[in-house]
């Protein structure tokens, strides 16, 4: 198989949104793009040994929130807490906020969860 077929298979397996990847690829060299896609994040995440939060929004347009969260839960790593926030996007920004106004303004639900988690640690 050629590299394009391997990449397509890998992207499908990992549940990446193809429109986002096309957008991303337009801004990265082939080498940088391939390095990003080939990186073995799974091993790193699977073997985490420090308390870790993994948050994703159910309306994430970049990756499949259910597929990703179920996959990470399947590792059964006691150090990883997985949470899917309904109706939030990839950046967990405020619900219904106008596009371009809230990239760094996180919705209160994940923000409060992070603060509470830190205070417990």
Whether residue 26 has pLDDT greater than 70: no
**Would residue 57 count as lying in a domain?**
yes
% of residues, the chain, pLDDT over 90: 44
**Would residue 93 count as lying in a domain?**
yes
Strands (E), the chain: 52-57, 80-85
pTM: 0.69
Is the domain of 82 the same as that of 105? yes
Lowest-pLDDT choice from 31-40, 41-50, 69-78, 85-94: 31-40
Domain tally, the chain: 2
Please list, in sequence order, all residues whose beta carbon lies within 8 angstroms of the beta carbon of residue 67, skipping any fewer than 6 positions away: 15
Residue carrying structure tokens 């073995």: 40
Is the domain of 31 the same as that of 72? no
Domain of 60 in residue numbering reads as: 50-121
Per the prediction, the chain carries an average pLDDT of 82
User: How far is residue 111 from each of residues 55, 104, 105, measured CA to CA in Å?
Assistant: 11, 11, 9
Is the domain of 112 the same as that of 83? yes
**Would residue 62 count as lying in a domain?**
yes
Whether residue 66 has pLDDT greater than 90: yes
Is the domain of 76 the same as that of 103? yes
Task: Give the pLDDT confidence score for residue 60 in this predicted structure.
Answer: 87
Residue 23 CB neighbour total at 10 angstroms: 11
State mean pLDDT over 53-73: 92
State mean pLDDT over 63-78: 93
**Would residue 44 count as lying in a domain?**
no
Is the domain of 87 the same as that of 55? yes
């Amino acid at each position: 198989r050629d590299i394009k077929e391997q990449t397509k298979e890998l992207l499908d397996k990992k549940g990446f949104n193809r429109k986002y990847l096309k957008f991303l690829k337009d801004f990265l060299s082939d080498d940088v793009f391939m390095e990003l896609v080939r990186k073995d994040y799974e091993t790193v995440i699977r073997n985490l040994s420090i308390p870790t939060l993994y948050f994703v929004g159910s309306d994430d347009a970049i990756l499949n929130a259910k597929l990703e969260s179920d996959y990470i839960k399947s590792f059964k790593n006691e150090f990883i807490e997985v949470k899917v926030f309904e109706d939030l996007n990839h950046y967990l920004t405020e619900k219904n906020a106008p596009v371009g106004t809230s990239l760094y303004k996180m919705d209160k639900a994940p923000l409060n969860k992070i603060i509470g988690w830190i205070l417990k640690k």
